[in-house]
Amino acid sequence: MMSLFHSYRLGDLTLPNRVVMAPMTRIRAAAGGLATPSMATYYAQRASAGLIVTEGVQPSLIGQSNPGTPGLHTDEQVAAWRPVTAAVHVNGGRIFAQLMHGGRVSHPDTTGAQPVAPSAVPAAGKVFTPAGPRPAPTPRALDTAEMPEHVQAYAHAARRAVDAGFDGVELHGANGYLISQFLSSNANLRTDRYGGSVGNRIRFAVEAAAATVEAVGGHRTGIRLSPGGTFWGLEETDVPELYTALLTELARLGVAYVHLEATTDEETLVGLRRAWPGTLIMNPVAGLGPEQTGRADADRWLGLGADLISFGRAFLANPDLVERLRSGLPIAPADEATYYQGGDAGYLTYPTYQYTA
């Protein structure tokens, strides 16, 4: 059986193991969406992962979801990311930037503008703002003529990512953000070519992926998906049909990988593995639940056909997670109170495993 610690060829990269650091929001960027020296240290500490995928990075100002998140749409942001990617590479790692357009999961207090979405349907719950959680506002429905602008935002940010030293990008098509909103059957009520049928609901995702592949190459382009996920009040109908159709189009584009979350039943996920001919990253435990991915979950999904396994929360308190998994060492718990509080506590302060004589 394939081991979590066997190497893997991903595009032009040779990954020394099959452990992927999943994208996780940390709210540590400086004003203007700038990466910081602490972020360079944070990612470099975890460079033993086969692949790091960063926290969500906004491809445009209107695409920013949370305050305190980094961007890739200005020259200053590109310059701020270069020490981060350099630190990861010096420490032997590989790093993709996750490009995340929040769509309706945003607020005017964060961006200075009304959020945009497929339809004027607000997200469920409260969104983060500079003044704290606020009810999600009603977004402005995008005009059909505006679609190319938002499609190209991913491509422009991907070019900037490569300029900043990233090895590639992952489009955030999951968890209720913009691409996911287009896939939805209750957030996307459009009657034009971007809504209604399965073929129309996948159109925005396919166009965003195609534009990114054209900009930086398929070997540098991945996408994360959450089939059947209900984040921010989303619903999806015809999940197997919807995602099989999407994977078919992504395969034609030659993207480097698909990153699936365990947000639907195992039978559907295994069916999607069969439908996808390329590299599959599997996140075996749905986010925001009480459990986190462990070695047994990873081995199980490698046996079910995944190529790489992503770990989220386990990486927060365990910068040496790969070694802990390899040696069967305890996985330290993370302090939830420090997830989004800013500063270096609960960010750079988790040690590697301390052996005792």
Q: How many residues does the chain have?
A: 357
The active-site residue out of 154, 177, 194, 243 is 177
For helices 37-45 and 75-90, the axis angle rounded to 10 degrees is 30
Residue 130 CB neighbours (<10 A): 11
Residue 111's Cβ-count burial label (10 Å; 0-12, 13-18, 19+) is buried
Q: Give the integer Cα–Cα distance in Å for 106 and 131.
A: 13
DSSP, collapsed to helix, strand or coil, labels residue 327 as: helix
Phi, psi of 97, deg, nearest 5: -95, 130
355 is annotated as an active-site residue: no
On the 0-12 / 13-18 / 19+ scale of CB atoms within 10 A, 133 is exposed
* Contact yes or no for 158/99 (Cβ under 8 A): yes
Instruction: Return d(Cα 15, Cα 12) in angstroms, integer.
Output: 10
Pseudo-torsion of CA 244, 175, 307, 70, nearest 10°?
130
Residue (of 253, 14, 215) closest to 99 by Cα position: 215
Enumerate the active-site residues: 177
